[in-house]
Structure formats: structure tokens, C-alpha cells
Amino acid sequence: MDPAAPLLDSRGRPRRPANRRRPRPGAHIFSGNPRIIPVAILIVTIAVCALTMLYWSVSYSYSQLRAIALLVVSEHLARWWPLTVYGPWLLAGLSILRAAVQHRTARRSWAVMLIASGTAVALCIGQSPSSLLAMVIVGIPPITALVCFRELVGQFSSGHGPRHAADTLNGPKQGRP
């Protein structure tokens, strides 16, 4: 019997392999690139750290802004007043994350984010004692929130540049010769 000849069944047809299961498309996602697991763990770790610092910074600034509002308005209103600063901040942040996932720019959202962060810094510093250390202590959390958010957006952004709406309709822009 020739070893290169296919094995035949009782009817003279080539024999099928015993295991007829087809491999699933996603079954070997991790076996193709052994570096994907450490990279995924690193990305998740950075995102968790950024989210933790973001949460701490916003909650600290939120309590500072609530304390400032208590000087002027009732306690019930002062509890919700910081949302006038962090409401637009949060919505701009969601818009920026969406734009990062879609590889688009979010210039207006970044402008809203910077204005809201600057407002939070100015309000917190404005009510702090006049020492430089006190100003730094109450001014850093809104800045930290902005920096942590930027790092979080970096986890969703790819190395490619932003894609504009016109590029999807007309194709990519061609450079002039």
C-alpha cells in the first residue's frame, strides 16, 4: 500500500477524518499573538488607574464646589450646584470617548472640557485661603481629572490620526504633488 495514497472506505471513496468539527473563527484569537494578553492587561490596568484617579479627583472637586455653593445658596441647592460645572464636563467627556472610538476629532468637546476644568480650578482656588499651598491643594484635583481623562481617551485612540466626515464620503484626501 502506497503511504501517499488516501485511505479508502468500504465503498472505495476517500475516508473522511474522524473529527469533522470546523474550528471556530474566534477560537484561536490568543494563540496567534502571544503578546496580546500582556498588552491587554496593561491597557486594562492603565484604564482602571485612570478611572480611579478620575473618580477621586471629580469627587474631591465636587465636594469643594458644594462647599463654595453653601456660602451662597441653601443646602438642597448646593448639593446639586456642582453639576453645573461637571455636567458639561461629563457630557463632553462622553462625546470625546465616542469620537476617539470612531477615530474622529472632538475639538468643541475638548473646548467644553477645558472650560469646565478651568472653571472648577478657578472656583476652588477663589475660595481657598490665600496661601500658595492651599491654592495648589484645591486646584490640582480638577487638573488631575482632566489629565486622567486624557489618558483614558488615549486607551481608546489608535495610532492613526483623526478621520473627518468628508473622508468617508469622498475617500481619503490626496496630497498635492
DSSP structure class, residue 14: B
- The rounded distance, in Å, linking the Cα atoms of 117 and 140 is 10
Q: Which amino acid is located at 35 in the chain?
A: R
Global pTM exceeds 0.85 = no
Is residue 141 a contact partner of residue 57, using CB atoms and an 8 Å limit?
yes
Main-chain dihedrals φ then ψ at residue 14, nearest 5 degrees: -65, 140
Per-residue pLDDT of the chain (177 residues; tens, 9 = 90+): 555 556 777 777 776 666 666 656 655 555 666 777 888 888 888 888 888 888 888 888 888 888 888 888 888 888 888 888 888 888 888 889 888 888 888 899 999 999 999 998 888 888 878 888 888 888 888 888 888 888 888 877 765 555 555 555 555 555 555
What gap in Å lies between CA 175 and CA 60, rounded to an integer?
48
- Residue 161 corresponds to which amino acid? G
